Structure 1
Amino acid sequence: MSADLNQKYGLNPAHSEVVSACQLVKPGLALDMGCSTGRNALYLAQQGFTVTAVDINPSAIQQLQSVVDQEGLDTLTPRLYDIAEAGLDTDYDFIACTVTLMFIDAAKVEAVLADMQQHTCVGGYNLIVCAMDTLDYPCPMNFPFTFGEGQLSAAYKGWDLVKYNEDVGTMHNGARLRFATMLARKAA
């Protein structure tokens, strides 16, 4: 397997928070929610995870499947799935959901978070990075959903917040906005 599949296939590098989480999270069953063309899923597979990568976009899933086929990756399964359905059917050690929640219907986010939590193994992790809209830093983009201050951490009461911040960051398109960033571990 190539040292960096993302580079080989012209994809953006894995999200910095996914790379950072891999310093702590031991390889196991992983879910990449809203995988697009697979930048995080490919990285996780290269780190030793068995990855299910889901997205609502059929052409993104086809593109990722093509990479999987060309590389003979038996530890990465791309699947067409609408995360807004909140209907996961497997338990995972690590669920990554980076810059994805802000693209789904706000009315569905609570169910999606509950579904992620329910399908995380005890001792497993959820990684979430999502846009925020706050009085002091209004979101410059019109996403269907954004977190308010403290909303993400409140949704994970009872979990160990390994990392949590609500800092201003830059999207891949250069837009500056505030993000809720969390790596949380499911307590026993």
Structure 2
Amino acid sequence: MEDLNSRYGLNPAHSEVVEACQQIEPCAALDMGCSTGRNALFLSQRGFDVTAVDANPNAIGRLQSMVDQEGIDTIRAQVYDIQHASLAADYGFIACTVTLMFIDPSRVGAVVSDMQQHTLPGGYNLIVCAMDTDAYPCPMNFPFTLKPGELRDLYAGWELLKYNEDPGTMHNGARLQFATMLARKPE
């Protein structure tokens, strides 16, 4: 299978999305804050039926162009501001990687709640988000960062298949701490 990400000059799919696909069977998936579609293309090539949303119409246009050129019928690219927290469908897998830190802090609770409500029973949420901690003060001026334990607390009652708050490096080289979580909704 040719890697469409490299063909179109995109970064590879996020490593956590790749890892999650080892546990999650193909299903209806939502890529929240998809940018130009690196995760959506990866998921589509693995049999997922993907809705890819981003507030940036140019990014969605680029993804739609790739989808059209490749004749992909398993990706729906849509301009959607996740801050509205008004998803219209339910999904077996929702991926939200390095996205929450770019939204208005007052909307994060509503966005996470909306994700949870629109996850099918037994479905999965994957979140990777920057943190701001004493050990690793966030060097970037993100509108939102998580505090220690905050993401785990938001998913009380879900099965945490993976949860850590480890240092990492952004694609631009900035070193900071990330909360990474793969959680399964109770059936």
TM bin (shorter chain): over 0.9
1:97-151 superposed Cα distances (whole Å, 9 cap, x missing partner): 0000000000000000000000000000000000000112110111000000000
CA distance in 2, matches of 1:136, 1:171: 17
Distance 1:103 1:178 in 2: 15
Give the Cα separation in 2 of the matches to 1:132 and 1:99.
11
Mark the runs of 5 or more structure 2 residues left unpaired by the alignment. none
Match of 1:121 in 2: 120
> Which residues in structure 2 correspond to 1:89-168 (within 5 Å)?
89-168=88-167
SS of 1:95 mapped into structure 2: strand
Residue by residue, what CA displacement relative to the aligned partner does 1:40-92 show, whole Å, maximum 9, x if unpaired?
A: 00000001000000000000000000000000000000000000000001000
Q: Which runs of 5+ in 1 are unaligned?
A: none
Q: 1:36 & 1:90 partners in 2: Cα distance?
A: 20
| Partner Cα separation in structure 1 for residue 101 and residue 25 of structure 2 | 28
Alignment of 1:1-188 (within 5 A): 3-188=2-187
1:3, 1:77 → 2: CA distance? 20
TM-score, structure 1 as length reference: 0.99
TM-score using structure 2 length: 0.99
The letter for the 2-side match of 1:161 is: L
How many residues in Structure 1 have an aligned counterpart in Structure 2? 187
**Identity level (%):** 71
Task: Output the CA distance in 2 between the equivalents of 1:39 and 1:6.
Answer: 6
Partner amino acid for 1:76? I
- Kindly report structure 1 stretches of 4+ aligned residues shifted beyond 3 Å: none
- CA distance in 2 between counterparts of 1:151 and 1:26 reads 28
